[in-house]
Amino acid sequence: MELLIPVIKISVVLGVLLGVVAYTVLVERRVAAAIQNRVGPNRVGWNGLLQPLADVIKLVMKEDIVPKQANRFIHDLAPMISMAIALITFAVIPFGDSITLFGQAIKLQIASVNIGILYILAMTSLGVYGITLSGWSSNSKYSLLGGLRSSAQMLSYELAMGLSVIGVVMIAGSLELDKIVQTQHGWMWNILLQPVGFVTFVVASFAETNRHPFDLPEAEPELVGGYHTEYSGLKFGLFFLAEYTNMVTSSAVITTLFLGGWQIPYIGLAGLPAFWVSILQVLAFCVKVYLLVLFFIIIRWTIPRFRYDQLMNLGWKVMLPLSVLNLLVTGLVILYL
Amino acid sequence: MDLLTPHLLSIGPLLTLVAVALLVLLLESIITKSEPVSFWTSVAGLLVSIGIAVPGIAVHGSAFGGMLRTGGSANYFSIIFFICALLTIVFSRDYLKKRDSVFGEFYLLILFATVGMVLMAAAADLIIVFLGIELMSICLYVLAGFIRGSVLSNESSLKYFLLGAFATGFLLYGIALLYGSTGSTSITFLTEHFETYASSRLFLAGIGLLIVGLAFKIGAVPFHMWVPDVYQGAPTPVSGFMATGAKAAAFSIIIGLFAQRFVHGVQIGTLLAILAAASMILGNVVAIAQTNVKRMLAYSSIAHAGYMLTGLAAGNAYGRDGILFYLLAYAFMNLGAFGLISFMEQEGEKHLTFDDYAGLGTTKPFLAVLMSVFMFSLAGIPPFAGFFGKYYIFVGAVQADMTWLAIVGVLMSVVSVFYYLRLVMVMYFQDTLIGQTASYSASSAAFVVLAALILLGLGVFPSSLLAIITTLY
Amino acid sequence: MLEQYIPIGFMFIVAIIFGIVMSKLSEWLGPKNPNDVKLSTYESGMEPVLSARERVSVKYYMVAMLFILFDIEVVFLYPWAVNFRSLGLFGFVEMLVFTVVLMLGYIYLLKKGALKWQ
């Protein structure tokens, strides 16, 4: 019984996560189509709802090509790392308060560790290995450049990311994610207390997930496919899935840190039974996360890509000083207000 | 806040120097033609630091929870380092122009290396020792290779870096073993509980590794192999800085660790005596065969490490005070000699052999007289300060029943007279070479004269300095 | 204390198995008819020129080195941030000194063009 609850939680979370990721691909294609005044995929199933399944089947049935020049072992390893890292980051995110089911209080979080934020930063920085290794192991110039660019980019933005979280930690006085969510009750969402931190964190998240306008590593006009030029079949699919998983996870992290997590302001005043409050909170979390995912998607189809020097300049010369400054201002405000 | 203020005040010289170094860093990045500004800021900063450090000598204390010793010997050593840095900076200004490597970062690196040395002298904990050594060494690695276009300079930097990193590994491993056997890295704790742990092999192994690491830094035989090549290739004032400042810094730790209780009861005294004898013999004998003046001074610096280790092996107050006296005198005489060599040196490591000094006594009597003063002092001929340093050290050795070591030391001093005076002889009794040039500015000439005068002063009135030294520990 | 990490361990295993299965699936189920051209490195349809195992621009090394410097600062800041309220003004000033020193280095490297991409 002790072990059963986490197993159930993991299966539910992974199931939902992968389902959401699969359909996010579809959503992205439909949104892109809408923005570009097209129709988008609508033939497989009702309104194209079975499209993700068809995509996966298509990818599975493709030939798995590993170039002769490539380092076979690392070439196989890289997509696996990318995918696995993207999935396990979700383990510490609280998607709800505790809920009472069958007379047992269950915490709606897979693992409530006391260093939650460090865990998330550690895992997101591990993600760079998948991309760098894939770029190097393919032994192709496009892949190598993509891998190099992405590692430099992720390193640069990780600093801004780490620094902008510190403001949140100072306010909450804890690295534990559920504590951080609990401090954001009422209107005290961190987006209002830490607006600069929020902006830098979101921008850094875009860069960390290699999403537009920071998708230099796979800039298709310059680098063909970037680090996954030499991948085919489901291994290519894994990179694709990992990117979307990272997007969802990043949205969840942003929600937790800045948008009050599962909090619904003043829901206690409504006088609902505790069970339904918990359900509503989980729903609120999902809605917040998905709105952010939509934001990610809309940005991709409306904003042009950065040039590489612009990207590095933004990271080192704007984001880094800005987040340090934000830190000092936060400190002063906490001390004197 | 008020709890911290006395701590901060007691490390005033260190903080001043750090502030100056950071200021130079900032100036270096903001101002385009920054070299003169950096130079004068560094000189002013060092003078102010000396001014702050001098009154602190009379005080004895510790700061930051027993991590740092303040006042007393820490300040005395700090003053030695500041003087070394000051002389180096002044001499290197002309030298860098000559070698076409004028960068303000040079002064910055010297300042940071000095910060590391001050930390070493003030350390009351092995972790601080390590911090100081690393800060000093990393700056010195870069300084040794500062003439980027020169193959010799690059070789010097690389050799120093590889061997230095290796030695630091020994040192760190020694610290780890000491911590493993005693549960403490505090130097005070270690010196007080030495007898308790003296039977533990882990502890002795830790001490041994520590000695290896530090013996490398002072260039004692058998850890001297890097010295000649590094000193020859490095920019000449930097060689002087390494021979005086870095050596004094390493000695400040060795004295703190071994000068009191450590030596007695165990064979460490004998171990140090063997190191001392080997250094004196090898350094002096090999120096005879050198034709390059910088290499000759490199071997002589190995020999001087031997003299100073003699005082340490003696393990009594005489020996210790002798080292302290000698380190200050050595700073003036060695840096003065390296300064004069840097005046004489020409583009492309030219004019560095003994023959290039032929007839200097008639063509450039000013330089020749000064050079002779430094050579006499290095050889230990009265009335210069070098004599009294050696005298106190050897008296210490005799009192500690190490007469054999004192005899070796005196014999080797006689050997050293041969090669030091050979330079003097070449300058005065050989025919002049054509094309002898020397380039130096008035300020560096003034500092060389000052160094020579101080040597003379310390030699004539040694007791005034010695009175201060006896109150240090 | 450590049992909090058991679920993470579970999830780790599940994620790795998922990764392995997915990355091998097309190898198991897909067609296999390789030929020399198909297995050669992609270079816009041309014959590949030289290997990609070249020396890379020194700029990337600079970024890596600077990252380590600043990341260590960030690591120092975390425990400080957690205890910020109890440390009070003293803690703030201490960290201010640390940050200012680090930022001096930052200004230096910025002015010396360590982060210039041309």
Report the mean per-residue pLDDT for chain B: 88
Q: Is the pLDDT of residue A247 over 60?
A: yes
Averaged pLDDT for residues B285-292: 90
> Which of the four pLDDT bands, split at 50, 70 and 90, describes residue B77?
very high
Q: Is the pLDDT of residue A2 over 80?
A: no
> Which one of C89, C100, C108 would you mutate to disrupt binding with B, by most B Cβ within 10 Å of its Cβ?
C108
C-beta separation of B305 from B220 below 8 A:
yes
Q: Which helix (H) or strand (E) holds A301?
A: helix A274-302
Q: Is the pLDDT of residue C46 over 80?
A: no
Cis peptide bond upstream of B222, omega within 30: yes
Q: Sort out which chain C residues have CB atoms less than 8 A from B1's CB and list them.
A: 89-90, 93
> Which of the four pLDDT bands, split at 50, 70 and 90, describes residue B451?
very high
The verdict on B297 and B183 lying in the same domain is no
This prediction has a pTM of: 0.85
Averaged pLDDT for residues A91-95: 88
Cis peptide bond upstream of A273, omega within 30: no
Which tokens is B177 given? 């073993």
Q: Is A139 an 8 Å CB contact of chain C? A: yes
Residue B47: how many other CB atoms lie within 10 Å:
12
C-beta separation of A320 from C66 below 8 A:
no
The verdict on B257 and B293 lying in the same domain is no
Q: Is the pLDDT of residue A84 over 70?
A: yes
Averaged pLDDT for residues B232-252: 92
Between C99 and C26, residue with greater pLDDT: C99
Cis peptide bond upstream of B55, omega within 30: no
> Which of B402-416, C31-45, C74-88 comes out lowest in average pLDDT?
C31-45
Between B454 and A69, residue with greater pLDDT: B454
- Convert the pLDDT of each residue in B412-431 to its tens digit: 999 999 999 988 988 888 88
Q: Do chains A and B touch (3 or more CB pairs under 8 A)?
A: no
- Determine the pLDDT at residue A64: 81
Nearest CA in chain C to A328: C96
> Which of the four pLDDT bands, split at 50, 70 and 90, describes residue B158?
very high
Distance CA C44, CA C47 (A): 9
- Convert the pLDDT of each residue in B309-361 to its tens digit: 988 888 788 888 889 999 999 999 999 999 999 988 887 677 788 888 888 88
- Determine the pLDDT at residue C29: 82
| Neighbour subunits, B (≥3 Cβ pairs < 8 A) | C
- Determine the pLDDT at residue B331: 93
Does the residue C116 lie in any domain?
A: no
Distance CA A126, CA A300 (A): 24
Domain extent at residue C90? 2-111
Which tokens is B221 given? 């035989």
The verdict on B312 and B248 lying in the same domain is no
Q: Is the pLDDT of residue A263 over 90?
A: no
Nearest CA in chain C to A173: C82
Domain extent at residue B426? 270-473
> Which of A53-67, A77-91, B103-117, B449-463 comes out lowest in average pLDDT?
A53-67
Helices (H), C45-113: 58-82, 84-111
- Determine the pLDDT at residue B412: 92
Say which residue the tokens 């992290």 belong to. Answer: A253
Report the mean per-residue pLDDT for chain A: 85
Q: Is C85 an 8 Å CB contact of chain B? A: no
Which tokens is B130 given? 């390590």
Residues whose CB falls within 8 Å of the CB of residue A199, separated by 6 or more in sequence, listed in order: none
- Determine the pLDDT at residue C1: 64
Does the residue C118 lie in any domain?
A: no
User: Alpha-carbon dihedral of residues C32, C34, C40, C42, nearest 10 degrees?
Assistant: -50
Distance from CA of C90 to the nearest CA of B (A): 6
The verdict on B295 and B389 lying in the same domain is yes
Q: Sort out which chain A residues have CB atoms less than 8 A from C83's CB and list them.
A: 173
- Determine the pLDDT at residue B134: 93
Helices (H), B145-267: 151-182, 187-192, 194-197, 201-218, 226-233, 236-241, 247-258
- Determine the pLDDT at residue A221: 65
Report helix, strand or coil for A99. Answer: strand
Q: What is the DSSP letter of B244?
A: I
- Determine the pLDDT at residue B370: 92
- Determine the pLDDT at residue B138: 94
> Which of the four pLDDT bands, split at 50, 70 and 90, describes residue C10?
confident
Averaged pLDDT for residues B93-116: 89
The verdict on B288 and B222 lying in the same domain is no
Q: Sort out which chain A residues have CB atoms less than 8 A from C77's CB and list them.
A: 163, 166, 327
Judge: B1–C90 Cβ closer than 8 Å, yes or no.
yes
Distance CA A262, CA A57 (A): 35
Q: Which helix (H) or strand (E) holds B297?
A: helix B293-314
Averaged pLDDT for residues A297-315: 86
Q: Sort out which chain B residues have CB atoms less than 8 A from C112's CB and list them.
A: 29
> Which of the four pLDDT bands, split at 50, 70 and 90, describes residue C38?
confident
Q: Do chains A and C touch (3 or more CB pairs under 8 A)?
A: yes
Judge: C71–A224 Cβ closer than 8 Å, yes or no.
no
- Determine the pLDDT at residue A227: 77
Domain count, chain C: 1
Distance CA A64, CA A61 (A): 9
Distance CA B239, CA B248 (A): 14
Q: Is B31 an 8 Å CB contact of chain C? A: no
C-beta separation of B329 from B377 below 8 A:
yes
Distances (CA, A) of B459 to A29, A61, B372, B386: 89, 92, 15, 7
Greatest distance between any 2 Cα atoms in chain A? 66
Judge: C117–A332 Cβ closer than 8 Å, yes or no.
no
Q: Is C6 an 8 Å CB contact of chain A? A: yes
Q: Is the pLDDT of residue B2 over 70?
A: no
- Convert the pLDDT of each residue in A168-218 to its tens digit: 999 888 888 888 888 888 888 888 888 999 999 999 999 888 887 887 766
Distance CA A308, CA A310 (A): 5
Q: What is the DSSP letter of C41?
A: P
Q: Sort out which chain A residues have CB atoms less than 8 A from C78's CB and list them.
A: 117-118, 166, 169, 175
Distance CA B419, CA B411 (A): 14
- Convert the pLDDT of each residue in B198-218 to its tens digit: 788 888 889 889 999 999 989
Residue A266: how many other CB atoms lie within 10 Å:
10
Distances (CA, A) of A40 to A14, A18, A20, A33, A49: 28, 22, 19, 5, 12
Does the residue C117 lie in any domain?
A: no
Report helix, strand or coil for A187. Answer: coil
Judge: C99–A327 Cβ closer than 8 Å, yes or no.
yes
Q: Per mean pLDDT, which of A92-101, B249-258, B295-304, B381-390 is the most reliable?
A: B295-304
The verdict on B356 and B464 lying in the same domain is yes
Judge: B22–C104 Cβ closer than 8 Å, yes or no.
yes
Distance CA B285, CA C99 (A): 53
- Determine the pLDDT at residue B284: 92
Closest CA relative to residue B351, chosen from B160, B99, B154, B142:
B99
> Which one of A68, A81, A85, A88 would you mutate to disrupt binding with C, by most C Cβ within 10 Å of its Cβ?
A88
Q: Is C98 an 8 Å CB contact of chain A? A: no
Please determine, for the modelled complex, whether the ipTM score is greater than 0.85: yes
Q: Is A138 an 8 Å CB contact of chain C? A: yes
Judge: B30–C112 Cβ closer than 8 Å, yes or no.
no
Q: Is the pLDDT of residue A57 over 80?
A: yes
Distances (CA, A) of A182 to A95, A263, A280, B413: 12, 8, 16, 78
The verdict on B258 and B140 lying in the same domain is yes
Q: Which candidate from A62, A87, A331 shows the least CB-CB separation from C26?
A: A62
Judge: C108–B1 Cβ closer than 8 Å, yes or no.
no
- Determine the pLDDT at residue A141: 80
Report helix, strand or coil for B229. Answer: helix
Judge: C10–A80 Cβ closer than 8 Å, yes or no.
no
User: E strands of chain A, at which residues?
Assistant: 99-101, 104-106
Distance from CA of A271 to the nearest CA of C (A): 33
> Which of the four pLDDT bands, split at 50, 70 and 90, describes residue A219?
low
Q: Which candidate from A68, A152, A229 shows the least CB-CB separation from C39?
A: A68
Q: Which candidate from A6, A170, A309 shows the least CB-CB separation from C10?
A: A6
Residues 20-79 of chain C with CB under 8 A from chain A are: 20, 22-27, 29-34, 36, 38-44, 48, 51-54, 56, 59-60, 63-64, 66-67, 70-71, 74, 77-78
- Determine the pLDDT at residue A1: 60
Q: Is C108 an 8 Å CB contact of chain B? A: yes
Does the residue C35 lie in any domain?
A: yes
Between A99 and A329, residue with greater pLDDT: A329
Does the residue C52 lie in any domain?
A: yes
Q: Sort out which chain A residues have CB atoms less than 8 A from C64's CB and list them.
A: 152, 155
Q: Is C104 an 8 Å CB contact of chain B? A: yes
Judge: C63–A312 Cβ closer than 8 Å, yes or no.
yes
- Determine the pLDDT at residue C47: 72
Q: Is C101 an 8 Å CB contact of chain B? A: yes
**Looking at residue C56, which CATH number applies to its domain?**
1.20.58.1610
Q: Is the pLDDT of residue B260 over 70?
A: no
The verdict on B165 and B276 lying in the same domain is no
Judge: B28–C108 Cβ closer than 8 Å, yes or no.
yes
Q: Is C90 an 8 Å CB contact of chain B? A: yes
Q: Sort out which chain A residues have CB atoms less than 8 A from C20's CB and list them.
A: 80
Closest CA relative to residue A82, chosen from A35, A24, A135, A37:
A135
Domain count, chain B: 2
Q: Per mean pLDDT, which of A96-100, A242-246, A304-308, B62-66 is the most reliable?
A: A242-246
Q: Is the pLDDT of residue A127 over 70?
A: yes
Q: Is A229 an 8 Å CB contact of chain C? A: yes
Amino acid at C42: Y
Q: Is the pLDDT of residue A37 over 70?
A: yes
- Convert the pLDDT of each residue in B9-35 to its tens digit: 888 889 999 999 999 998 888 888 888
